Structure 1
Amino acid sequence: MHRVQLHYTLRRDASDALVRHPLIDLLQAVDAHGSISAAARALGLSYRHVWGELKRWEDELGSELILWEKGQSARLSDFGAKLMWAERQAQARLSPQIEALRADLERAFAVAFDPSAHVLTLYASHDDALPALRAHAAAEHNLHLDIRFTGSVDAIAALNEGRCIMAGFHTLTQPDPDSLAARTYKPLLQPGLHKIIGFGRRTQGLIVAPGNPLGLHSLHDVARTGARFVNRPMGSGTRVLLDDLLADAGLSAAALSGYADTEPSHAAVAQAVAAGQADAGLGIELAARSRGLDFVPLAHEDYHLVCLKSALEQPAIQALRATLHSAAWQERMAALAGYTCTRCGDILSLRERLPWWTFRPKKRPIPASDGHR
């Protein structure tokens, strides 16, 4: 079976063509004019080019396209005629979808040709406020966020490897310098090289069924009751948070039934609970409330946006900071369940937000005595 590949062309002038294959234009011209030379003149092409393209496509498709008989006009072969028929059928059936696809492509490329528009690539730990920010930034500030949700560790790694301009990760509001979070993130971040842009504070806790039928109010309750737990994957910020909370509670991973069972996002954890596949999972309040589930708060954490210090003056990051500083966005974020704005859009140092680096002032050398008091 022959496969179909779609291609598109960028043009400054308008064109009525939707999805067209150049071979079809050649076949139509030969069918209409009865010779390759006349078809070439109608298309504004050379005879040699049209002849060569027809032969190339015959070799590519393995069938004759044009038939010549001495003293008669050139005509399409049965295969060539069927290609023309297939083209007409496809255009008749798919033209509305093709037109919609073309319009979507034009809207997307309009950003590239708009000098006032900015695009910012963000790899981020999953957070339900970020899609809301993406919609608000595009509508109100002509800033287009290209968000790729991944684990916190992978997000910062992508930033350090140059695959994105900004990364999103999260920690407890007062993380312990000896926590797993410190051991995880400290090697990936470097004071003086990275800067944090404040985003917001959110609540994480147990996502449970409506009415909390098992009476789960802590991780101890989850362990004691044998409730079916659903976790997040290795490398995710919420997995790091859970392990720190377990350590603080004096519990091991084995104490949770289902610790090895994972879902890729807060929304997926909430859906697993809503579907009865799990009794509880650690996630954000918004994910629980949006699905009519109950929520037991366990921890407050800051969601950080981090970039290289050298990128702070880039227009896209300036546009992002303006968006985060705007009253309209801060009101919208405050309306999201479990979120509050904290230093939203401010440039923050790693040392200010994370207690993992200590810098002692250098002692001034004592001048050598010259023998005089």
Structure 2
Amino acid sequence: MFSLSAQSPRKDSGADGLNPIKPLKIGDTIPESLWQTTLNVVNNSSGKKQITLNEYRAKKLIILDFWATWCAGCRYALKEVNTVAEDIAAANALFLPVTYQSLKETKTARKQMNLKFQQVYGDKILSQYFIHTALPHTIVIKDGRFYGIMKYAGEHTVSEVRNLLQGKKVRWKYNTHLLDPNKAIFSEGNGSGRLLYKDNGLSLIVADSTFIDEPLNVIKRDGKYYFYANSHSIRSLIYMLYKDELDPQPVMTFSNTIVYSDIAIKKRLSDISKVKLGLLFEGGSQNTGAMKMAFRLMLCKMYGIDVQLGNWPSEYDPEGTYRKLMIKALEKGGCHATN
């Protein structure tokens, strides 16, 4: 079994399923409202504190790089792209890092990394149009449309940017549309995959990897509510389902606060976390309580895993509450999927 807490929670995922902004699909025209949206920026060459994408509408390419200061991969990629800032400008393109974080955090990171680009901070809008559940996430706008999602790969970051600027072949992360909620989800070619589990209104499948990953969404059809997420690991699905409980925690992490009572369980979870999954839950209301219970039962049945939520054992938990919770989880010696 394991207990989950989290460090550096994602605050820009828009994963509540009730977002009034319609996420864009690859190939969609950028709406006028997005072009005109005011964005807070730092390090603007003209000293501006706010811009709109409309000011750069004539650019050959607009590259939005969603990142966070705590994301090591993001920092590495930005430092690499920083070396070709002049090439980007010469190609009549805009490279614009975007973060949900504060002005202070953004300024500190810019100074530490000596970044040459202006940056959007405090973002609450762009991440809703270009949904994502992992960072870095780099999208490209071309000819007024959502052109694609770049697949950066470590040392290949700069070469990929150069290829894009020169119109050469680029490795795109995905090249198809989001799941269509107006069709039967996870069937009829709409994200279909191999069924792993089905019980208590919950279905877990191996997601079609050609689809862009989607956070937890909900649609209503024929008086029923359907919750779905696509192309995620078990860990990210856990975060989505328990987001409301996890976000208030002072710090969060997925990497090193998992406690296992059995090494075999650890291996099984590690193996399944490499697989991209889809989740579908049919419920009678928008309340997620039944879905969480069904998900916990699924974890118990499939992997012998129990979910416990708690704080990181550090200065944020001086009374050792999280440590006691970990000990309790280990002492259970079994799976108890109860509220």
- Give TM-score scaled by structure 2 length: 0.24
Greater RCO, CA 8 A, separation 6+: 2
Higher helix share: 1
TM-score by length of 1: 0.22
Name which one, 1 or 2, has greater alpha-carbon Rg: 1
